[in-house]
Structure 1
Amino acid sequence: MKQTLYRLKEDNSSFPYSCNDGIKVIGGKQTAIQGQNVSFPCTLTEMPATDDISQIFWKRKTGQNPVYSDFFTISPEYGPEPVNAGHDTSRFKFIGSLNETNGSIQLSNVTLLDEGVYSCIFTLFPSGSYRTEIPLTVLVPPVTNLKIKVPVPVVGEDWVTYASCMAAGAKPPAEVTWDTGSSQGALRVVSNSTQHANGTTTTISHLVGTPTRDINHLLVQCVVKQHALATEDTLPFTIEVHYAPLSVNIRETSKDVLECVSDSSPKARYTWSRANQSWPRSGISAEGDVLQLVSPTSDLGGLYVCEASNPYGQKEVSLYVYYATATGGCIACWTVLVFSMIAVAVAVGLALWYYKSKYGVLPWREEVVFQRPPGDDENQGVEEEKVDEEEVRETRS
């Protein structure tokens, strides 16, 4: 049994559609990524042998064409033809076959304005018209970028933003997260989203925290996920925090060559000097963090100072250089003055504390020196002679 229906088109004209239990037009929902191509499948099944295809109409209602209207036709007499397609004429292509009752078309370089509902209508003679609707969803991949804070955060500052990761113009909205490794406790994430009139969304995620030395040079990653992306988009970023030089030390890299090292950000500038003495005219070279004795002699002995400095402060360490004559020439003996003095002071202090706790007094005492008056030496001699005579008498008796 066949029934003919009349439905009003949005242009207020009538268009007949037929219903038949056996004849069907098969299509299906489609999803496309902006900039790619998409096919609209449309196949007629169970067409009676007594019918012929008079024409295939394609209609659409999209963001660019809000009024439901024809835009493409295929007929046995004229073949595929764009209708009211405007600038879209070259983007549509017939990929089906009338002999196989296949009215499929392809749209190239899909845009967000192409999203909407497409209708494929087969007109048969004498049966009538049959249709199917094909919704098209367009996905828009985000435009991602990473903005790093300028100027660089400094230790001692309050809450700061290290970097901002943006996923702009995405449809559907992108998911933006941060991979901060083992330093999650020192960092926080603050995110916000803005939806635009065209249906896309921009998401911005800020990585924030209080600047500390521990997170300087920490590698983090902004991770963006979205349905239009084949794989997640990863944007790496190394956190930089500035602070004054710390833990300045001098180490011997080779014979008669010393290097001054420090923990600082940005990298410290090193300056060498000799305390209470002028800098030797020859025999020594100081370039940056390296001090080298080119021709070691006793004249080069003394207290050397290395100062590490950057825009946020400075710190120095001292080193005493002395020479001892030995077989084979001069031997350079290097001692870090600060640590040596501290070690000696601690050792002496402990020894004195132990001595006093055991004996009750310190290991030294005050002595009173008596000086005899002038002329008293003769009386002393007489007294000594008297004592000797008495001892002799006692012995004889």
Structure 2
Amino acid sequence: METQFLFPSSSGTYCRSSTRCVFRSYNLLAVMYVGLIILIIRETAGVQVTGGNITVVQGGTIILPCKLTDTVESLTQISWQRRTREKPQNNNFFIIPAKNGPRFVDGQDNRFQFVGSVSDFNGSLQISRVTLMDEGVYTCIFTLFPSGNYKAEITLNLLVPPVTSLKDNCPVLGNVEASLVTCTAAGYRPSAEVMWQTGTLKEKVRTATNSTQHANGTTTTDSSLFGVPTREISQHQVQCVITSVALQKEETLPFTIQVYFSPREVTISHKSDDSFQCLSEANPPANFTWSRADGLWPKSAVAEGATLHFSSMTSDLNGEYQCEASNQYGRKYSYLYLHVPSGHCSACWTLFSILLFLIVFGAAAVWYRRTKYRGSETVSAGPIEEIRELAETTCRPVFHLL
């Protein structure tokens, strides 16, 4: 008679051999494993992590949104990776453990701030003072238990507004076409346009535009206004207009065309008996310098810019004075000769006093006689005025404009 042994199985029943027991145990484990997988799939089928594209103007502040939805599993950690212009290799740079709080992985950067909530499955990051080197792809990763990792990518795009400027090309008066002014829109992306508004000068000027691409993906555009530098176009106003998607509104730069030239004819005007002024047309305005041909400068002569003033008219002022008008494009001169009489002037005024006394005395005598014998008559003051005018003319300074 054969003896049979019964072996307990994992299901609580007994089997006749150990081999059959092991086979039945494996079948039960497989069923349990498959059931667990099905359960996990059911639990995670609706899990979603937000992502997308974000655009920001350089220097601004932006939030990288990252939120996980439709899960009841436990959140272990939120991780951030990035692949940017500055760091092209994808790497972890910021993690938010469920219990210990956020921290940086590869160096502190206080421009990044965690603005989400672990309890709400929100891993959003805020970046301030964004630069072109921050542009790239950011990956947000949620680690759940027991299902594992779920992630989404956020692409950060930067708009770089142009740095605008105007440069006066300092055209000199002439009859050959020259560059009058250059308008520059520097370091922009993705696009910008530079245009000119010239008004009544439309038929007298033309534009030339050149763009340069830079290694960092930005562009610089120079637009120059060309024309013949004549007096006719000088002092006319034009406008450079820059438009760009990185600008909130178009930017307008006004400019007054300047045509430069050396001092033209220099003239000296007689402002008063003791002062003279030097005049000349020039652009930029001329600087005026007074000097004497003999190199000797009297104490009573005072030069203030274009004006020459004499504090007292004495004979030491006699001589030739030079007025120089100058700017960086040239210089012109004009001359003044001054002569102040001396010596005989005091004699003239002494003679005038004596003659005046004699005339007054004689006139009084004549008046007395006529009053006594013929009645009242008026005595003419003509001789007195003639003698006074002669004395003043003899002592008056003489000047000649050369």
Q: Do these two structures clear the TM 0.5 threshold for a shared fold by scoring above it?
A: yes
> Match of 2:319?
none
Paired position in structure 1 for 2:103: 81
Instruction: State the one-letter code of the partner of 2:64.
Output: F
- Aligned pairs (5 A) from 1:284-303: none
The answer as to whether partners of 1:19 and 1:130 remain within 8 angstroms in 2 is: no
After superposition, where does 1:41-52 map in structure 2 within 5 Å? 41-45=65-69, 47-48=70-71, 50-52=72-74
Question: In the alignment, does 2:75 pair up with 1:53?
Answer: yes
CA distance in 1, matches of 2:74, 2:326: 91
5+ residue gaps, structure 1: 5-17, 249-258, 270-286, 291-307, 315-397
AA partner of residue 142 (structure 2)? F
Change (3 A) 1:312 1:80: closer
Q: What residue in structure 2 maps to residue 283 of structure 1?
A: none
Counterpart CA distance in 2 for 1:180 and 1:232 is: 17
How far, CA to CA, are the matches of 1:3 and 1:62 in structure 2? 40
Q: Post-superposition, which runs of at least 4 consecutive aligned residues in structure 1 deviate over 6 A?
A: 244-248, 259-264, 287-290, 308-314
Deviation (angstroms), 1:224? 2.5
Which residue is 1:195 aligned to?
A: 213
- AA in 2 matched with 1:145: S
Work out which of the residue numbers 118, 122, 126 in structure 2 matches 1:102: 122
Match of 2:94 among 49, 72, 82: 72
- Secondary structure of the corresponding residue to residue 119 of structure 2: helix
Residue 165 of structure 2: aligned partner? 145
1:155 alignment partner, SS class: coil
SS at match of 2:95: strand
1:227 maps to which of 227, 231, 245: 245
Question: Is 1:178 aligned to 2:196, yes or no?
Answer: yes
Q: What secondary structure is seen at the aligned counterpart in 1 of 2:181?
A: strand
CA shift at 1:263, angstroms? 7.6
**Residues 9-48 of structure 1 aligned to structure 2 (within 5 Å):** 20=46, 23-45=47-69, 47-48=70-71
Contact 2:92 2:106 in 1 (8 A): no
C-alpha distance in 2 between matches for 1:309 and 1:126? 88
SS in 2 for 1:147: strand
The answer to whether the 8 A contact 1:245-1:268 is kept is: no
Could you tell me which amino acid in structure 1 is paired with residue 82 of structure 2?
R
Q: Does the Cα contact within 8 Å between 1:41 and 1:103 map onto a contact in 2?
A: yes
Query: Alignment partner for residue 113 of structure 1, among 122, 133, 136?
Result: 133
Distance 1:309 1:56, change over 3 A: closer
Aligned amino acid, residue 64 of structure 1: E
TM-score (norm 1): 0.56
TM-score w.r.t. length of structure 2 = 0.56
The residue identity in structure 1 corresponding to 2:77 is Q
Matches within 5 A, 1:378-389: none
The one-letter amino acid of 2:76's match is: S
TM-superposed deviation, 1:157: 3.7
Aligned pairs for 1:233-248 within 5 A = 233-242=251-260
Residues 87 and 139 (structure 1), Cα distance of their counterparts in 2 relative to 1, 3 Å cut = farther
Work out the percentage of aligned pairs sharing the same amino acid: 47
User: Is the CA contact (8 Å cut-off) linking 1:3 and 1:19 kept in structure 2?
Assistant: no
Which letter does structure 2 place at the counterpart of 1:74? Answer: I
The Cα shift of 1:175 comes to: 2.0
Aligned length: 312
CA contact (8 A) 1:141 1:170 kept: yes
Partner of 1:125: 145
Structure 2, unaligned runs of 5 or more: 1-34, 38-43, 267-276, 289-302, 308-324, 333-402
Q: Which structure is higher in strand share?
A: 1
Taking a change above 3 Å as real, the CA distance of residues 97 and 123 of structure 1, as seen in their structure-2 partners, is: same
Measure, in 1, the Cα distance between the counterparts of 2:134 and 2:244: 20
The alpha-carbon deviation at position 261 of structure 1 amounts to 9.7
Partner of 2:222: 204
State how far apart, in whole Å, the 2-side matches of 1:143 and 1:309 are: 36
